A = this chain, B = another copy of it.
Amino acid sequence: MRASDRAYHQLRQEIITWRLAPGTVLAEVEQAGRLGVSRTPVREALSRLMAEGLAATEGRRGVVVAELSVTDLEQLFELRETLERKAAGLAAARGDRGRFRRLHEQFLHAEASLDAPEEVEAYYALVGELDAALDEECGNAYLALSLRQLRPHLQRLRRLAHDQPERLAASAREHAAIAAAVADGNPGLAAAATTVHLSASLKHLHHSQSGQGTLAPAHSVHLTTHESESR
């Protein structure tokens, strides 16, 4: 794998998991030293992160990790609903029904076995499979591209929520409903089920952040020592 790819994936992961907090300065020389590559791959990685919106140039301070406010949360979900409703509807109209029928059954099965912590990991992987299936079966590469560009931001938001078992179970049922509607070839119902799921998800996220103006992850993250070095 190329060094620029490694730098990109590592920085991306660290931003999504909040190990690199919003506002952290991503100086080229510092990151190059930390990641063990030269400045050139780091520059390419930062370019890609800026194109995704995970990083931004902040005046003269250089490249910083993008901020994430309650306003961002609401705007991201507004766009997400628009895109995912359309994708679900198109997949219901054009997609491979058997694929979503299988996903439907997997979600029903996952709901019953969401007790163990390792099952939560598997559940998130299943959600990712449904996302990928909608991307592919909606038959619109540009719509899928927009959704893929949106997803890293949503993954970052996910870390804000507490993983309450009852919410995960409800989420599984909502995903099952989406998959069922797509499998039935019902675009209107698929879009409606998407709205239902996203409304519940947004409400849960809002509740997790109740009162706070600035967003912060649910479980405090083991902070790296690098930002103190970067002073």
Instruction: List chain A positions with a Cβ less than 8 A from chain B.
Output: 43-44, 47-48, 51-53, 72, 75-76, 78-79, 82-83, 86, 90, 139-143, 145-146, 149-150, 153
Within 8 Å by CB of A140, from B53, B78, B86, B150, lies B78
A82 lies within 8 A of B48 (CB): no
For the complex of A and B, 9 pairs with smallest distance between CB atoms = A51-B51, A75-B140, A79-B142, A82-B86, A79-B143, A47-B47, A75-B142, A146-B146, A78-B140
If A44-B47, A140-B79 touch, whether A145 touches B86 (CB-CB below 8 Å) is no
A173 to chain B, nearest CB (A): 27
Label chain A's interface by main secondary structure. helix
* A51/B48 in contact, CB under 8 A: yes
A90 to B146, CA, bound (A): 19
| Residues of B contacting A52 in the complex (Cβ-Cβ under 8 angstroms) | 51
Q: Which chain B residues border A83 with CB–CB below 8 Å? A: 82, 146
Measured between alpha carbons, how far is A52 from B115 in the docked complex, in Å?
42
Query: Across the two chains, which residue of chain B brings its CB closest to A43?
Result: B44
Using Cβ atoms and an 8 Å threshold, which residues of chain B touch A79? 86, 140, 142-143, 146
Sample of 5 A–B contacts (CB below 8 Å): A43-B44, A53-B145, A75-B143, A78-B140, A79-B86
